[in-house]
């Protein structure tokens, strides 16, 4: 194969003469294989010419395979190495893996095993791209059908997940498939906006609606507090689902992750959608009940300075007299400052987080707001913002936040009230009525 002809492989084995069938097989597949009878010769050859892959037998006279591997990694750390051995001893496997080998095979091996290992190392990117392209071609008609037949919010959640999955899969391909996907996203965007226009009034005037912004804290955080759990509620503004899926692997070692979508209210601007999350109220409710915390559209005052007092009002209405802290991170400097404040003392190892991590995606409907906001994102299905909910730590009381008011929101400074109240104080009193939203 022409694609394989450019790949040079070095194979070192003291019984290389017995491997002629394997060598002929690889040659017929288009690989150029150079052989060596021992580790010393292999090192000399590897330093004299470039190789794309090195195959080492572990049990060779003179320099063993492991010793040869160590020297190769010192001088050629970028070259992948396959280790082949007769031994199944665990310590040999551990040493080989510790030296970052690309694959580990146990004799006897047949030519196809070698070929599979080579393809996995040298051609995985191309094979993954080819498979992603084939899969999207096969799924194209199914996605089109979902766009035209989606009739519930769950259908749209499912469709958005499929589009994001295909987008990430095609990101590494060099084909025109991404252009086809963009066209489907534009079509999905248009149909989703029409669907929201037909249903939004029912959502905000009846109980027949999906999980929406004002219900996120009462329905997803308060039940955890009722169990006596510590909770961090992290809201990342304008955080798309494809971005979350990219970040998620970084968190999977520390958290058990569950995903759940919710639907944003409209407009999706800060003083409406985000303040609805923090207050547990629709914007008209915030303006009516807490006029001092409501900022009109035309006001020059910052639209997101009242988030901490709004959280305090939510806790008050639900009779939760627990302590909580509020921190806003607007830039990298604020992020570093917060990191310094919460990191464990020097010499103390951070504990592994055992809490669950929930992520709530917001379904946004750009173009369904008012005429001045009517914009349709032509590149992405309008589902954005992410709310990540693992454990909420208490540090300040509701009364603290009310007294502090806007000053507490405008300045991100170290908190002095650090004594934690017992977890049961955050639970809903059993004798009091839970207010409806």
The per-residue pLDDT for 39 is 92
8 Å CB contact between 67 and 40: no
The per-residue pLDDT for 434 is 35
The per-residue pLDDT for 183 is 94
The per-residue pLDDT for 427 is 52
The per-residue pLDDT for 130 is 86
Backbone φ and ψ of 32, nearest 5°:
-100, 110
The beta strand positions in 86-200, using DSSP E, are: 103-106
Nearest to 36 by CA among 18, 9, 11: 11
Q: Measured between alpha carbons, how far is 1 from 7 in angstroms, rounded to an integer?
A: 11
> Average pLDDT for consecutive 10-residue bins of the chain (437 residues)?
69 91 93 94 93 92 89 92 82 76 88 93 87 91 95 95 93 81 95 96 93 95 91 89 92 88 89 92 93 84 85 92 86 86 65 44 36 31 32 36 39 35 45 35
Q: Tokens 């310590």 belong to which residue?
A: 91
Count of CB atoms situated within 10 Å of the CB of 45: 16
The per-residue pLDDT for 127 is 86
């Amino acid at each position: 194969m022409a694609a394989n002809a450019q790949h040079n492989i070095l194979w070192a084995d003291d019984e290389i003469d017995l491997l002629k069938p394997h060598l002929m097989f690889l040659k017929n597949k288009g690989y150029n294989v150079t052989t060596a009878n021992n580790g010393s010769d292999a090192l000399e050859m590897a330093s004299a010419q470039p190789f794309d892959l090195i195959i080492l037998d572990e049990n060779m006279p003179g320099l063993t395979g492991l010793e040869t591997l160590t020297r190769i990694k010192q001088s050629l750390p970028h070259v992948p190495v396959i280790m082949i051995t007769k031994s199944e001893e665990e310590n040999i496997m551990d040493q080989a893996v510790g030296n970052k080998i690309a694959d580990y095979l146990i004799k006897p091996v047949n030519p196809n095993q070698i070929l599979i290992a080579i393809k996995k190392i040298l051609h995985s990117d191309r094979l993954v791209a080819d498979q992603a392209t084939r899969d999207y071609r096969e799924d194209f008609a199914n996605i089109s059908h979902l766009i035209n037949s989606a009739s519930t919010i769950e259908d749209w959640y499912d469709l958005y997940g499929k589009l994001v999955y295909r987008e990430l899969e095609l990101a590494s391909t060099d084909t025109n498939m991404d252009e086809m996907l963009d066209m489907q996203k534009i079509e999905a965007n248009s149909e989703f906006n029409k669907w929201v226009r037909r249903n939004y009034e029912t959502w905000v005037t009846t109980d027949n609606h999906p999980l929406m912004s004002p219900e996120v804290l009462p329905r997803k955080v308060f039940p955890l507090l009722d169990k006596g759990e510590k909770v961090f509620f992290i809201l990342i503004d304008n955080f798309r689902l494809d971005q979350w899926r990219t970040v998620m692997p970084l968190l999977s070692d520390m958290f058990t992750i569950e995903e759940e979508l919710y639907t944003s209210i409209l407009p999706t601007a800060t003083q409406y959608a985000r303040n609805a999350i923090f207050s547990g109220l629709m914007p008209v409710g915030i303006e009516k009940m807490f006029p001092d915390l409501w900022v009109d559209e035309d006001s020059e005052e910052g639209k997101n300075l009242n988030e901490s007092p709004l959280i305090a009002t939510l806790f008050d209405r639900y009779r939760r007299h627990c302590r909580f802290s509020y921190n806003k991170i607007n830039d990298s400097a604020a992020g570093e400052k917060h990191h310094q404040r919460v990191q464990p003392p020097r010499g103390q190892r951070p504990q592994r987080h055992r809490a669950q991590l929930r992520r709530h995606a917001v379904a946004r409907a750009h173009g369904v707001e008012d005429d001045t906001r009517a914009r349709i994102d032509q590149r992405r299905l309008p589902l954005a913002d992410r709310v990540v909910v693992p454990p909420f730590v208490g540090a300040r009381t509701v009364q603290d936040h009310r007294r502090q008011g806007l000053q507490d929101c405008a300045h991100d400074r170290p908190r002095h009230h650090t004594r934690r109240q017992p977890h049961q104080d955050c639970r809903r009193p059993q004798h009091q009525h839970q207010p409806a939203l």
